[in-house]
Amino acid sequence: MPKAAARSAESYRKETFVGNARNIAFWVVLFLLILALFNLFSGGQSTSSSRTISYSDFIERVDNGDVASVTLDGERVQIRGKDGSQYVAIKPAGEEVTDRLIANNVEVRAEAQEQSGFFSLISLWLPFLVLIGIWIFFMNRMQGGGRGGAMGFGKSRAKLLTEKQGRVTFDDVAGIDEAKEELEEIVEFLRNPQKFSRLGGKIPKGALLVGPPGTGKTLLARAIAGEAGVPFFTISGSDFVEMFVGVGASRVRDMFEQAKKNAPCIVFIDEIDAVGRARGVGIGGGNDEREQTLNQLLVEMDGFEANEGVIIVAATNRKDVLDPALLRPGRFDRTIHVPNPDIKGREKILSVHARKVPLGPNVDLRLIARGTPGFSGADLMNLVNEAALLAARVGRRFVTMDDFENAKDKVMMGAERRSMVLTADQKEKTAYHEAGHAIVGINMPKCDPVYKATIIPRGGALGMVVSLPEMDRLNMHKDEGKQKIAMTMAGKAAEIIKYGEEGVSSGPAGDIQQASALARAMVMRWGMSDAIGNIDYAEAHEGYQGNTAGFSVSAETKTLIETEVKKLIDEGYQTAYRILTEKNDDFERLAKGLLEYETLTGDQIRRVIAGEKLEDDEDDKPSVGGGSIASIPKTKPKVIKADGGFEPTA
């Protein structure tokens, strides 16, 4: 660790020394109290177990020869008679009895008075020690060990990140090269400011990391801490929020005071939307405590007094709710987008997470990357971990491609529920339903290639057909949308063709929901309906995506929207019905193949349709299938993305 960071860490440790000293003092006092109480109780028990006699009676017994031994403990005389009885007498002050005891052949012992005096002193001060101990205990609890307790509400909870927490560098960050380059420049500025300042450049005051969950925003911040060589404070946005007005603002002030003492330094605020939400938004205005905290944060970042050498790095996946004043240059000079990685990024991320995993010779990380579009860095880390767990479960020494394929199916589609008992009729209907999806998907040129079909229950589905795009999908075209609706409605068309109108089940419920979501997006958001035109009705349409806010539309417009949506869905259903009728032989062969093998990959589906017989153990071998492994959406239904993209059918 560089000297500046080391000095900062040392000063930060000194700040907590007082709190630790209070803890040690409390336990020392508690130990002494227990020791004193034990002595009192043990003394009281010995006193209560011995009979007390008068001094004159004691002298008389000595003269009569009834005393065997005596222990002198100051003015207290412990006596043991020749008959084994024990009793106690109190000797008058200044009275000497030793010569008489020796003259009567009585064994005499004496207790050291220093120890007795010590415990007598403890007993005398016991009430005061109890009060002091209670006071120290409650003060320690209120101070919370030094910061942030009842006596320290206004103290910052920012923690100094050191290498003890596990050093992360930019080598550990992959798949988000553009974001990494932006932050590497900040690190370079801290290391060599003259390189930029000689041309009039100023160090950025803040960088905001924006992206979906799991894309590596916090990991990037930790990499900055590992590379920068300057003190790095980390805090969560929720740590500023309290029920008392002014506490959050006080914590902001204290955090920046710490940062100024350790400048140049970096302060990382995770989930800044907890405190940086736009002011005055919502019913009844905003939260006064949060707004005052935000006001103080704005002033400290770029107010009347400049904070030289203090860089704020924040992360959020809700940039849309942040206050505009927080986003302006001078506060957050840079907004760095951290998106889900592309195919090259996924391959790099997989290689990073697979460093500590022994891989088999048949593992192709690029092939796995092609089959996982839309996966975030956290999803890929989970995929590698699941593959390692599956390999360990069967006792392998390394992770094979089969383990990655099974792990991918588990992550995307859910765990197999082989224990679920399906009747022959349910299994048959599921096979024909999924065969309908697969046949239409194969015969529609704009549909993504079919990757796998199964009638083994996974997650909440009795079966599913998974289609994979050839490459990462960035947008959706009208003809593609229509063909996807046809593939989605093929399950219901297959059931009607096989079992008739009265034999259709509730299985197509999820398909109808997915087709409706896609059709509504095409009509209301993407301007793909000539009757509706190029107008965004998504927020205006009541009930769309649970959003009833926004301007209202007329009843005629609502009717027209629903008519266009129904038109697209009906057209897709008729297309699927026509294809299944024309390809009825292929449809029947694939359904029977699913009943026999339960799970078929893309190549196996084509061979079953062609009437070929699969090998006995071929259906048990995981395969990348279809020759076109690309991304697969996670096991969610079709989801209309906020950016207008569309996840394929799962």
Phi first, then psi, for residue 296 (nearest 5°) are -65, -40
| Rounded-to-10 torsion of CA 375, 377, 382, 387 | 80
CA dist., res. 448 & res. 469, Å (int): 5
CA dist., res. 345 & res. 215, Å (int): 11
Return the structure tokens found at 239.
């740590």
- Exactly one of 434, 480, 598, 647 is catalytic; name it: 434
Q: If 0-12 CB within 10 Å is exposed, 13-18 middle and 19+ buried, where does residue 546 land?
A: exposed
The greatest distance separating any two alpha carbons of the chain, rounded to the nearest whole angstrom, comes to: 130
Helices 217-228, 177-191: crossing angle, 10 deg rounding: 30
User: SS3 helix, strand, coil % of the chain, rounded to 5?
Assistant: 50, 10, 35
DSSP state of 612: P
CA dist., res. 270 & res. 260, Å (int): 20
Is 217 known as a binding-site position?
Answer: yes
For residue 61, the cross-strand partners are none
**Rg, Å, the chain Cα set:** 39
Q: If 0-12 CB within 10 Å is exposed, 13-18 middle and 19+ buried, where does residue 250 land?
A: buried
Is 211 known as a binding-site position?
Answer: yes
Element (H, E) at 316: strand 310-316
For residue 208, the cross-strand partners are 314, 335
Is 216 known as a binding-site position?
Answer: yes
Peptide bond into 449 cis (omega under 30): no
Cβ-proximal residues to 245 (8 Å cutoff; 6+ apart), any chain: 288, 289, 292
CA dist., res. 280 & res. 630, Å (int): 46
Is 215 known as a binding-site position?
Answer: yes
Is 213 known as a binding-site position?
Answer: yes
Is 433 known as a binding-site position?
Answer: yes
CA dist., res. 634 & res. 418, Å (int): 21
Return the structure tokens found at 641.
């993305």
CA dist., res. 633 & res. 371, Å (int): 9
Is 127 known as a binding-site position?
Answer: no
Is 2 known as a binding-site position?
Answer: no
CA dist., res. 446 & res. 209, Å (int): 36
Active site residue 502: no
Is 353 known as a binding-site position?
Answer: no
Binding site, by residue number, is 211-218, 433, 437, 511
User: What residues are designated binding site for Zn(2+)?
Assistant: 433, 437, 511
Q: Which residues are annotated as catalytic? A: 434
Give the annotated binding-site residues for ATP: 211-218
